[in-house]
Amino acid sequence: MTQTSASTAAKAVHAATDRPLIWVNGRIVPRSQANVNVFDHGLLYGDGVFEGIRVYRGKIFKAQQHVDRLYECARQIFLDIPISKKEMIEIQRQCIEANNLVDGYIRLLVTRGEGTLGLNPYLCPTPGIICIADQIALFKPEMYEKGMRVVVANRPRIPIECLDPRIKSLNYLNNILAKCEAIHIGRDLGITNPEDMLLEVIMLNIDGQVTEGSGDNIFIVKGGTVITPPTTAGILEGITRQFVMTQLCPDCKIPVREQNFTLKELLDADEVFLTGSAAEIIAVREVLEHTDGKVTAAHTISRGEGPITAKLRSRFRQIVTSDHVPED
């Protein structure tokens, strides 16, 4: 092989592995070129909003609801997205196509854009738009039958009055630091089996009511009824949560309602499960409490996935593997 053809071959290999192709501010570029400006306030201040969206069978699951939430969150932070919702969906379709994605996950971000080193968002004239379409597998398939172990975070969820958790902003430090509580405990306990890793937390609000996980909504099942905290508890209004309440529960003829509950009520529940675009529907089998990083109590909720969680998850899978994946 000549030197030129070797370098051409090397370049082709690089291009094939330099994936996914990513939308960054109007261009689709390979992963290694998908960069943002260091003056973007999304980076400097976590100033921006985002979505995590599933792709099933080439369709964008609940595309309209995700885009509606993105624009509503942007409005709440006085961020004018310079393109239409239709164009925002089109960008996602282009990324799906460019990466030949059939089943996967989209991370869609709108940043405040480039500005000065000061906080003033009005000095950032052009919002940044990024769309990453890739694969995601949060948990191994067995975990869905076995259920997860989770930790109760001692750090409360940010109160609505400070920063409404309904705003899916690029600032996730409240959630990240809560999640670190679980990770640190897992390390302390010397857990090495990935299935037993403590990777999720349950966050309470400052009044002691249960809110949600670090990246998912929470449900309990009591006496055959499915219950989830209302948005006034201080939660993200999850699209999977909405799907469980308005489609899966009615389909399975399972009563569902929004109601606040305390940690004690959660520990008394027959079943507990989490929902999210990335996690989908996953059972919680055990809940750990801690003080200063030391586990003080371990509560078994159920042995593996409970029957109602299993029914809802099965209906969920039926829909997302069908020819009628809903994009509305």
- How many residues belong to the chain? 328
Instruction: By CB under 6 A, tell whether 216 contacts ligand PMP.
Output: yes
Instruction: By CB under 6 A, tell whether 228 contacts ligand PMP.
Output: no
Query: Given the rule CB under 6 A, which of 18-26, 99-107, 231-239, 313-321 is the region that contacts ligand PMP?
Result: 231-239
- Read off the tokens for 304: 């593996």
Query: Given the rule CB under 6 A, which of 101-109, 257-265, 271-279, 320-328 is the region that contacts ligand PMP?
Result: 271-279
CB of 159 within 8 A of CB of 205? Answer: yes
User: What is the spatial distance between Cα 186 and Cα 201, in angstroms, rounded to a whole number?
Assistant: 12
CB of 166 to ligand PMP, least distance (A): 10
CB of 38 to ligand PMP, least distance (A): 26
When binding is defined by CB under 6 A, the residue of 127, 186, 229, 238 that contacts ligand PMP is: 238
Which of 168, 222, 253, 294 does the annotation list as catalytic? 168
CB of 305 within 8 A of CB of 313? Answer: yes
Query: Given the rule CB under 6 A, which of 1-9, 110-118, 185-193, 235-243 is the region that contacts ligand PMP?
Result: 235-243
C-alpha 255: how far from chain center:
25
Is 11 a catalytic site residue? no
- For residue 46, give the nearest of 208, 183, 158 by alpha carbon: 158
CB of 102 to ligand PMP, least distance (A): 20
- Read off the tokens for 289: 């409490």
When binding is defined by CB under 6 A, the residue of 41, 107, 241, 290 that contacts ligand PMP is: 241
The DSSP letter of residue 278 is T
Query: Given the rule CB under 6 A, which of 21-29, 40-48, 179-187, 232-240 is the region that contacts ligand PMP?
Result: 232-240
C-alpha 275: how far from chain center:
9
Instruction: By CB under 6 A, tell whether 215 contacts ligand PMP.
Output: yes
Alpha helices in the chain (DSSP H): 3-17, 41-45, 63-76, 85-98, 141-146, 173-188, 239-243, 249-251, 263-267, 307-320
Encoded one letter per residue, x for contact with ligand PMP by CB under 6 A and - for no contact, window 39-78 reads -------------x--------------------------
When binding is defined by CB under 6 A, the residue of 28, 239, 272, 284 that contacts ligand PMP is: 239
- Read off the tokens for 256: 């569902």
User: What is the spatial distance between Cα 137 and Cα 76, in angstroms, rounded to a whole number?
Assistant: 31
* Burial grade of 231 (CB within 10 A; 0-12, 13-18, 19 or more): middle
- CB-wise, 133 or 236, nearer to ligand PMP? 236
CB of 129 within 8 A of CB of 53? Answer: no
- Which residues in 273-302 contact ligand PMP (CB under 6 A)? 275-277
- CB-wise, 17 or 232, nearer to ligand PMP? 232
Q: Which residues bind ligand PMP (CB under 6 A)?
A: 52, 175, 212, 215-217, 236, 238-241, 275-277
Active site residues: 168
